[in-house]
């Protein structure tokens, strides 16, 4: 015997083997359609008995294995069913002749045979025949199952007659010596009359009868015969048949202890327990056909055909522990014979299945290890693939997942062996996929983002490389890209610098033909490969939504003239939602974005690769409102530290917008990276409100810009500082141009002035305006310009106390002057630090040396000596006014009588101009 049956299990010893084969040209689909209906009749009950028969169907069986039928009867082909197509009487004779030739192949062991003919009609088809069944077509064959039942009944009758014939002790008859094929030449010339020879014959026959009893459903009788055979064969050292007797004893005991079977097949076998009632005996496997066979015609000489009594069963049946010990003994006897390698291999497989039922994994692995090293003939590549696949399944069954993956991977490599003319790369790829769980490897990248890496990274990388190679040989570049992307994403921490370069170069070469996408790839067998986003190329550490620039930030519109609307609401506490407030607070953003304005999100990223990383087409992924993402391109230096990257976009509609992640294109692979899948990413909230588009106003003035930049009173205000110098009583116009640079019309304008007087010493109405001409230009359309005129008139009253100079000095104002004898003869010269604006005026001023400021008493004394007028007299010398005017922010000015004042110092008056629109928010530049 040269072809092992790796699907063998202990309960197969009680089955009858029936071969179903086609004759002539039969469509494969039609053949297996009928084969499926035939194989459904696999379990039958004997009428008026608890005996059950099991049928094992095969559509291919090597004839050389049939020669071992005397050694183990379940290997003997006892039934033959042939299927053929015949359309005319002329073809019928040739078909029937082929049927007889097929029977001759298994003629020495056949009990009965049947021929199913499809398509033949007429006189021949109407003739009643026992061994032939005619059907018009494959769709009109309702009686197939009934024909199979009749066929099984005939098999049982022959089996029972053979069992009775050989079980009856006929004194004086010479018992034949049963042999396996390779033993026949060894017994030529032996003394057949010796006691040793007779014991050998008796022991082998007892073992054979035990096989027949087991097939006939007589479990107790088979146990008795096996025990007797073991004693006889052990006494004559007939080791090969002793091993077969021990294996038969193990099989019968397994059937008793594990009535559901050990093969792991679909559906359970009928229980064989001793407490079964007659009603329980009539139950059979779901979906199996039932045949009731009356054994009464076979009862003779007062022998009950059903001798499977429960008496003595417990004594003859092996315990679960003894079953394994006997299997070991039997396998050791098989190992003495080179030609029994297949028998030894199959016995190891059967023992492993039993040990799997007993949850004894370590002992099962020893049997499997022995099976690996059993030397058989030179196996073909297909047989090697089958052998390694079965070993993998058995290791998987006993819980040795990594060992199972190892043998399945060997089977996969065998599919593409160099000796095969047409390598099966698809089968290789399929088997490689089945090895992934054994190596703790999943093709879902999210399984690797949860934390600790599981499995051996070196082996996993090797397996992924083999998947890439098999995909390429299959001619599927999309699979190559997907597996290489998975390798780079999940194994990045384990790759050396050179390996990183090699993998990225290979990936770029594949994506040049087939770019990587975020689509799910569905394989022919239904397996789905999820997309692999490059969340590590680059690695993102933080995401921050940025507020709009100060000039574009929206503000809630409130009246600038003093109206204050209360927006208070009652506070209601609810403990039901208290637990979720913390999370909502973390995600709440206290600013707003504006429809149509460019919004920014800042990412802190770094490049883990040992070379420059080029990231193309990087943009934002959002939900909630329509958003136009403006892609960016990055070039990150090798192994760079945290690098800020700003991604921008424009919201097109209003509502709540959530930034879910970003998309990139790296090495030709397009990735959608979601923030939820990025471990350790810090964010200050990802949801912000987008309000409708607002008007935008640009302001320009006719005055020159001030050299001093004054800080606004609030960081949200936009200021423009202008400078003007006026004398007391002088008037000047400030022309302010209002240009609508947005897309929304300006409908309302409010103007107010605020004077900030720190010491309340300086006062006066310096600014006046008339809004009627300006408001006539409203609403101001986009692109239009309106003009607003402010009149500046310096009107100061110096009729205050004499300690004004001291107050000004206390405020930090530098004052310079000279003793005045007469206001008509003396002109005050300005300080060098504050030269007059007009050069011509400076020439008219007298050349007096600079004198530092004097004390208050000195000034009063000089004034008395000169006979000058008192402070506030109409004949006072002209004073110089130096002021800073600020639009939308404070403006500083200061004055002095008969003195030059440094206007850049603090103690002064402040002016504010405010412009706003009718909308809820306002933006200004």
Q: Say if residue 559's pLDDT is above 60.
A: no
Q: DSSP string spanning 441-481?
A: --S-GGGGSSSS--S-HHHHHHHHHHHHHHHHHHT-HHHHH
Among the listed residues 433, 461, 638, the one whose alpha carbon sits nearest the alpha carbon of residue 526: 433
Kind plus residue range of the DSSP H or E element containing 249:
helix 239-257
Is the bond preceding residue 250 a cis peptide, omega within 30 degrees?
Answer: no
Is residue 85 within 8 A of residue 25, CB to CB? The reply is yes
Strand 687-691 and strand 592-594: pairing? parallel
* 3-class secondary structure, 621: strand
Query: HEC states along 813-881?
Result: CCCCCCCCCCCCCCCCCCCHHHCCCCHHHHHHCCCCCCCCCCCHHHHHHHHHHHCCCCCCCCCCCCCEE
- Stretch 812-827: mean pLDDT, rounded? 34
pLDDT above 70 for 152: yes
Distance CA 471, CA 486 (A): 14
Mean pLDDT, residues 97-111: 90
Query: What average pLDDT does range 872-880 have in this prediction?
Result: 33
How far, CA to CA in Å, does 805 sit from each of 657, 815, 865, 878? 61, 8, 19, 17
| DSSP 8-state class, residue 76 | S
Distance CA 413, CA 42 (A): 36
pLDDT at 775: 84
CA–CA gap between residue 813 and residue 903 (Å, rounded):
8
Residues in the chain: 925
Q: Contact, 690 vs 651, CB < 8 A?
A: yes
d(CA 409, CA 413): 6
More confident residue, 822 or 789: 789
CB 21 within 8 A of CB 83: yes
- pLDDT tens for residues 32-91? 999 999 999 998 887 777 788 999 999 999 888 888 999 999 999 999 999 999 888 888
Q: What is the pLDDT of residue 602?
A: 94
What pLDDT sits at residue 893? 32
* Distance, CA of 241 to CA of 292 (rounded, Å): 35
The predicted pLDDT at position 576 comes to 52
In this predicted structure, the answer to whether residue 560 has a pLDDT above a threshold of 60 is: no
Q: How far is CA 809 from CA 593, 812, 907, in A?
A: 49, 5, 10
Residue of 204, 193, 122 lying closest to 166 (CA atoms) = 204
Q: Give the chain's mean pLDDT.
A: 77
pLDDT tens, position by position, 262-318: 876 533 454 443 333 233 333 333 333 444 444 443 443 333 444 444 444 556 899
C-alpha torsion sign, points 505, 510, 515, 517: negative
What's the CA angle centered on 112, arms 107 and 116, to 5 degrees? 105
Q: Residue 587: what pLDDT? A: 62
CA atoms within 13 A on the CB side of 509: 7
pLDDT in tens, 378-427: 788 888 899 999 999 999 999 999 999 999 999 999 999 888 888 899 99
Q: Is the pLDDT of residue 223 over 70?
A: yes
What burial class does residue 373 get, using C-beta atoms within 10 Å of its C-beta: 0-12 exposed, 13-18 middle, 19+ buried?
exposed
Rounded CA-CA distance 599/543 in Å is 14
| Residues near 432 by beta carbon (within 8 Å), at least 6 away in sequence | 409, 412, 463, 466, 467, 470
Say if residue 601's pLDDT is above 80.
yes
Tell me which H or E stretch contains 322: helix 320-334
pLDDT level of residue 686 (50, 70, 90 thresholds)? confident
**Residue 189 confidence class, pLDDT cut points 50, 70, 90:** low
| 431: confidence class by pLDDT, cuts 50, 70, 90 | very high
Radius of gyration from C-alpha coordinates of the chain: 52
Contact yes or no for 529/520 (Cβ under 8 A): yes
2 C-beta neighbours (distance < 10 Å), count: 14
Cα 922 off chain centre by = 46
Lowest mean pLDDT among 332-336, 525-529, 644-648: 525-529
How, if at all, do strands 880-887 and 720-727 pair? antiparallel
**Is the separation of the CB atoms in 125 and 79 below 8 Å?**
no
* Eight-class DSSP state of 547: P
The strand pair at 77-85 and 539-545 is best described as unpaired
Is residue 155 very low, low, confident or very high in pLDDT (cuts 50, 70, 90)?
Answer: very high
Residues 6+ apart with CB under 8 A from 719: 710, 712, 886, 887, 888, 889
* Nearest CA-CA partner of 661 in 609, 603, 608, 616: 603
* Buried residues in 688-726 as b, exposed as e (16+ CB within 10 A): bebbebbbbbebebebeebeeeeebeeeebbbbbbbbbb
Average of per-residue pLDDT across 766-778: 82
Q: Is 324 exposed, middle or buried (0-12, 13-18, 19+ CB in 10 A)?
A: buried
Of 149-158, 475-484, 829-838, the poorest mean pLDDT is in 829-838
455: left (phi over 0), alpha (psi -120 to 50) or beta: left
Contacts of 886 (CB under 8 A, 6+ apart): 706, 710, 719, 720, 721, 722, 892, 911, 912, 913
55 DSSP β-pair partners: 16
**pLDDT value, residue 51:** 84
pLDDT of residue 645: 94
Alpha carbons 132 and 154: distance in angstroms, whole number: 14
User: Can you tell me the distance from the alpha carbon of 809 to that of 902, in angstroms, rounded to the nearest whole number?
Assistant: 12
Kindly tell me if the per-residue pLDDT of 898 is higher than 60.
no
Q: Are the C-beta atoms of 468 and 553 separated by less than 8 Å?
A: no
Mean pLDDT of 684-694: 88
What's the DSSP call for residue 288? -
Neighbouring CB atoms inside 10 A of 317's CB total 20
Q: Give residue 525's pLDDT.
A: 83
Q: Check: CB of residue 439 under 8 Å from CB of residue 405.
A: yes
Q: What is the pLDDT at residue 45?
A: 82
Strands (E), 667-812: 669-674, 682-683, 687-691, 696-701, 720-727, 731-740, 756-757, 767-769, 785-793
């Amino acid at each position: 015997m040269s072809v092992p049956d790796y699907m063998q299990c202990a309960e197969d010893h009680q089955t009858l083997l029936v071969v179903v084969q086609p004759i002539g040209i039969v469509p494969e689909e039609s053949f297996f359609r009928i084969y499926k209906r035939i194989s459904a009749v696999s379990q039958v009950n004997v009428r008026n008995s608890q005996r059950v028969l099991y049928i094992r169907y095969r559509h291919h069986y090597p004839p050389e294995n049939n020669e071992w039928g005397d050694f183990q009867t379940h290997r003997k082909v006892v039934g033959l069913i042939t299927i053929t197509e015949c359309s005319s009487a002329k073809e019928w004779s040739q078909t029937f002749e082929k049927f007889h030739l097929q029977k001759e192949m298994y003629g020495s062991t056949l009990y009965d045979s049947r021929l199913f003919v499809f398509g033949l009609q007429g006189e021949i088809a109407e003739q009643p025949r026992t061994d032939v069944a005619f059907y018009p077509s494959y769709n009109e064959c309702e009686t197939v199952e009934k024909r199979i039942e009749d066929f099984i009944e005939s098999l049982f009758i022959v089996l029972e007659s053979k069992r009775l014939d050989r079980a009856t002790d006929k004194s004086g008859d010479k018992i034949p010596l049963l042999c396996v094929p390779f033993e026949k030449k060894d017994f030529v010339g032996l003394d057949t009359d010796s006691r040793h020879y007779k014991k050998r014959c008796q022991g082998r026959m007892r073992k054979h009868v035990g096989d027949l009893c087991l097939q006939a459903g007589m479990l107790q009788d088979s146990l008795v015969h096996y025990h007797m055979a073991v004693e006889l064969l052990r006494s004559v050292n007939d080791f090969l048949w002793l091993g077969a007797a021990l294996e038969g004893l193990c099989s019968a005991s397994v059937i008793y202890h594990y009535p559901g079977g050990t093969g792991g097949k679909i559906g359970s076998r009928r229980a064989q327990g001793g407490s079964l009632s007659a009603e329980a005996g009539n139950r059979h496997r779901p979906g199996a056909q039932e045949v009731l066979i009356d054994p009464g015609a076979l009862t003779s000489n007062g022998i009950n055909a059903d001798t499977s009594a429960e008496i003595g069963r417990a004594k003859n049946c092996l315990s679960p522990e003894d079953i394994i010990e006997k299997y070991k003994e039997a396998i050791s006897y098989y190992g003495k014979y080179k030609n029994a390698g297949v028998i030894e291999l199959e016995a190891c497989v059967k023992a492993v299945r039993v040990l799997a039922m007993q949850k004894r994994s370590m002992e099962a692995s020893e049997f499997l290890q022995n099976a690996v090293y059993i030397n058989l003939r030179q196996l073909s590549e297909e047989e090697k693939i089958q052998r390694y696949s079965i070993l993998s399944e058995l290791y998987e069954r006993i819980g040795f997942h990594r060992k199972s993956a190892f043998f399945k991977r060997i089977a996969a490599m065998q599919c593409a062996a160099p000796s095969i003319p047409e390598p099966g790369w698809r089968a290789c790829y399929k088997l490689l996929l089945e090895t992934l769980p054994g190596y703790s490897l999943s093709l879902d990248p999210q399984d690797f983002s949860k934390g600790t890496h599981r499995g051996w990274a070196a082996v996993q990388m090797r397996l992924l490389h083999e998947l890439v190679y098999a995909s390429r040989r299959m001619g599927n570049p999309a699979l190559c890209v997907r597996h290489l992307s998975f390798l780079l994403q999940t194994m990045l921490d384990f790759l050396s610098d050179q390996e990183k370069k090699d993998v990225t170069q290979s990936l770029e070469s594949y994506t040049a033909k087939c770019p990587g996408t975020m689509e799910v790839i569905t394989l022919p067998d239904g397996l789905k490969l999820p997309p692999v986003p490059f969340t590590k190329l680059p690695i993102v550490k933080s995401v921050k939504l940025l507020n709009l620039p100060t000039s574009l930030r929206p503000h809630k519109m409130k009246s600038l003239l003093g109206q204050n609307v209360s927006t208070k609401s009652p506070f209601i506490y609810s403990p039901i939602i208290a637990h979720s407030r913390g999370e909502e607070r973390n995600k709440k953003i206290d600013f707003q974005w504006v429809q149509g304005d460019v919004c920014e999100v800042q990412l802190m990223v770094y490049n883990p690769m040992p070379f420059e990383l080029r990231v193309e087409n990087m943009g934002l992924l959002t939900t909630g409102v329509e958003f136009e993402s403006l892609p960016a391109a990055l070039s990150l230096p090798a192994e760079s530290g945290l690098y800020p990257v700003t991604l921008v976009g424009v919201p097109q509609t209003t509502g709540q917008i959530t930034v879910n992640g970003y998309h990139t294109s790296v090495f030709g692979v397009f990735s959608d990276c979601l923030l939820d899948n990025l471990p350790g990413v810090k964010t200050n909230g990802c949801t912000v409100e987008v309000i409708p588009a607002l008007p935008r106003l640009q302001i320009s003035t006719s005055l020159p810009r001030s050299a001093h930049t004054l800080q606004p009173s609030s960081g949200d205000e936009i200021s423009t500082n202008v400078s003007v110098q006026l004398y007391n009583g002088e008037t000047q116009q400030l022309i302010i141009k209002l240009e609508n640079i947005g897309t929304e019309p300006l409908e309302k304008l409010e103007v107010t002035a605020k004077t900030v007087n720190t010491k309340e010493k300086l006062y006066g109405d310096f600014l006046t305006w008339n809004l009627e001409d300006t408001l006539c230009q409203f609403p101001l359309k986009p692109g239009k310009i309106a003009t607003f005129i402010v009149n500046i008139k310096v009107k100061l009253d110096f009729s205050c106390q004499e300690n004004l100079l001291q107050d000004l000095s206390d405020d930090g104002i530098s004052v310079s002057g000279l003793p005045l004898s007469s206001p008509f003869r003396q002109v005050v010269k300005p300080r060098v630090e504050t030269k007059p604006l007009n050069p011509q005026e400076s020439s008219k001023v007298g050349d007096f040396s600079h004198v530092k400021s004097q004390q208050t008493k000195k000034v009063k004394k000089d004034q008395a000596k000169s006979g000058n007028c008192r402070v506030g007299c109409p004949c006072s010398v002209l004073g110089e006014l130096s002021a800073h005017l600020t639009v939308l922010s404070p403006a500083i000015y200061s004055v002095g009588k008969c003195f030059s004042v440094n206007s850049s110092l603090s103690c002064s008056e402040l002016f504010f101009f405010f412009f706003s629109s009718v909308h809820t928010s306002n933006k200004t530049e």
